A = this chain, B = another copy of it.
C-alpha cells in the first residue's frame, strides 16, 4: 500500500493576497519527492551503501509517475547523495568502499599514485573554543572531540590534520576506534555514528611553518605550506566537522577543476 501519496502542490494551495514579492511561490512535485527521499536518508531508513527501492516501487508509494521519481533521483545523484548503477539499482552514496579513497581530498602527487598511510597523533575530548564552536553552530564550552593526525606518502609526512567534531554526535569515539578502522574517517563516521558528510567548503591560504608544525612535517621552520580549512556538512546543511590541514606541497599539489 502507498505509504504517503503526496500531492500537496503549492500551486493548489490557497493563493495569498498580494504575494508579489519573492518566496518559493512554486514547488514542483519532483522537488517534494526529493525532500521525502532526503528525509528518509536522514532518518536512516536506508543505510550507506544499501540500495533504495526501485523507481517504479517509489513511484507507486508516492502516487506519482516513474518520470517524476526519476527527476528527483537524478538531482540527488548529481549531488552525490545517491549512486545509480544500471541493471542493479540506486544506492546510498558512501565514503567507504569507494573507488576513490578520500573523496574530499584534492591532494595529488606530482608523479605516480602513492597511497597514503595514516598516523594518529592525538584524540581527546575538550570544551569548544568560541571560534570553533561558532563555525559548528555549537555553544562555546560544549563538549567536543579534537583529533590530530598525519598523512604520509612513502614514509614522508605530507599532511597534518587537526579535526574538530561535536561531542554530542560522536559519543563513543576513541583513539582505539580510530586506529582499528580501515579506510577514511568519513567511512567510520557513517558506519558507527550515522553521520554522512555530504558536501564541504574549503578556505585555502599560504602560511609559513612554525616550530611545532615544522618538526611534525619534517620541513624547515618558515617553509611555505598550504593551509586548508574545511567545514563539512550533513543533510540539511548542518555543519558537523571542522578540519584544518597543513599540506606540504613540494612533491604534491592541490588539484581543482573549474567549470
Contact = CB atoms under 8 A, between A and B. Distances in A.
Interface string A193-219: 000000111111111100000000000
A254 B222 contact: no
Given A205-B226, A206-B206, A104 B199 contact: no
Contacts of A225: 206, 224
Most chain B C-beta atoms within 10 Å of own C-beta, residue among A206, A208, A222 = A206
A205 B249 contact: yes
B205 A254 contact: yes
Interface in A154-206: 199-206
A104 B201 contact: no
A104 to B, nearest CB: 5
Q: How many of chain A's residues touch chain B, expressed as a range?
A: 20 to 34
A3 interface: no
A188 to B, nearest CB: 19
A80 to B, nearest CB: 5
Interface in A48-103: 78-80
Interface in A204-259: 204-208, 222-226, 230, 247, 249, 253-259
Contacts of A104: 258
A225 B200 CA distance: 24
A206 B254 CA distance: 10
A109 to B, nearest CB: 12
Contact of A201 (B208, B249, B258): B258
Point out which of A106, A208, A254 has the most chain B C-beta atoms below 10 A from its C-beta. A254
Contacts of A253: 203-205
Nearest to A256: B202
Nearest to A78: B78
24 contacts: A79-B259, A80-B259, A104-B258, A106-B258, A199-B259, A201-B257, A203-B253, A203-B255, A204-B204, A204-B253, A204-B254, A204-B255, A205-B226, A205-B253, A206-B206, A206-B226, A206-B247, A206-B249, A207-B224, A207-B249, A208-B224, A224-B224, A224-B225, A226-B226
